[in-house]
Amino acid sequence: MGVEAWYMDDNTDVDQREEHHRSPPEHVSEEEIAKHGILFWTVNPDDYRNDATYNKVRKDRGYSYEDEITITKEGLPNYEEKIKSFFEEHLHLDEEIRFCLDGSGYFDFRDFKERWVRMKFTKGTFFVLPAGIYHRFTLDTNNYVKAKRLFVGEPVWTPYNRPADDKAQRAAYLESIKGLAED
Ligand code: KMT
Ligand code: NI
């Protein structure tokens, strides 16, 4: 359903906003992403209120809360600090649900072998990262994204930086992907 993803090189110290493809590039399929418990859809960003997929997912999964975040140097208070914390490897005790309205960026997640997978977050991308998955976010070189954040009930955005292996949600997540090692 239109998510582009690839294994990363190890040079994010240089500039996290670059693509960081390996050489040669190694793409990661949507099937592989899905095996990690990540859900994703493509939604019409210009008319999402009337988008059947968007409405069905919200209803079925109980996403009662939504707001918007715009990330630009001028528009986001404590920009530098936020950019830095988004890119620290972390997990949450709840799902991270994001829908890209405009602009773009990258969500990186750790696969079952601890490799970083970079997923392109672009206009119309709607996805759910499961609780307990290690991940991070960065803007790309366009330096602009506008996204919706959804949640079940009152939102909790707290990141737990790695290591957070003592969390029950981490153990549950690892249990959920246990089968991957044997594939
Ligand atoms: C997060 O939690 O990493 C963010 O909200 C990043 C911005 S959403 C594109
Ligand atoms: Ni997060």
Q: Which atom of ligand 1 is nearest to the CA of 137?
A: 3
**Cβ of residue 106 lying under 6 Å from some atom of ligand 1:** no
Q: Is the pLDDT of residue 182 over 80?
A: no
Helix (H) or strand (E) holding 98: strand 96-110
Helix (H) or strand (E) holding 90: strand 90-91
Separation of 40 CA from ligand 2 center, angstroms? 16
- Predicted local distance difference test score (pLDDT) of residue 183: 66
Percent with pLDDT over 90 in the chain: 95
**Cβ of residue 119 lying under 6 Å from some atom of ligand 1:** no
- Predicted local distance difference test score (pLDDT) of residue 13: 82
- 64-112 pLDDT, tens per residue? 999 999 999 999 999 999 999 999 999 999 999 999 999 999 999 999 9
**Cβ of residue 147 lying under 6 Å from some atom of ligand 1:** yes
| CA-based max dimension of the chain | 48
**Contact assessment for residue 177 and residue 36, using Cβ atoms and an 8 Å cutoff:** yes
- Fold classification of 5-175 (topology level): Jelly Rolls (2.60.120)
Nearest of 45, 139, 126 to residue 86 by alpha carbon: 139
Residues whose Cβ atom is located within 5 A of ion ligand 2:
96
- Predicted local distance difference test score (pLDDT) of residue 2: 83
- The residue whose C-alpha atom lies closest to atom 8 belonging to ligand 1 is 147
Nearest of 99, 81, 82 to residue 146 by alpha carbon: 99
- 50-67 pLDDT, tens per residue? 999 999 999 999 999 999
Ligand nearest to the CA of 122: 1
- 18-41 pLDDT, tens per residue? 999 999 999 999 999 999 999 999
- Predicted local distance difference test score (pLDDT) of residue 1: 58
For residues 73 and 126, give the distance between their C-alpha atoms in angstroms, rounded to a whole number: 24
Please, what is the end-to-end C-alpha distance for the chain in angstroms?
Answer: 23
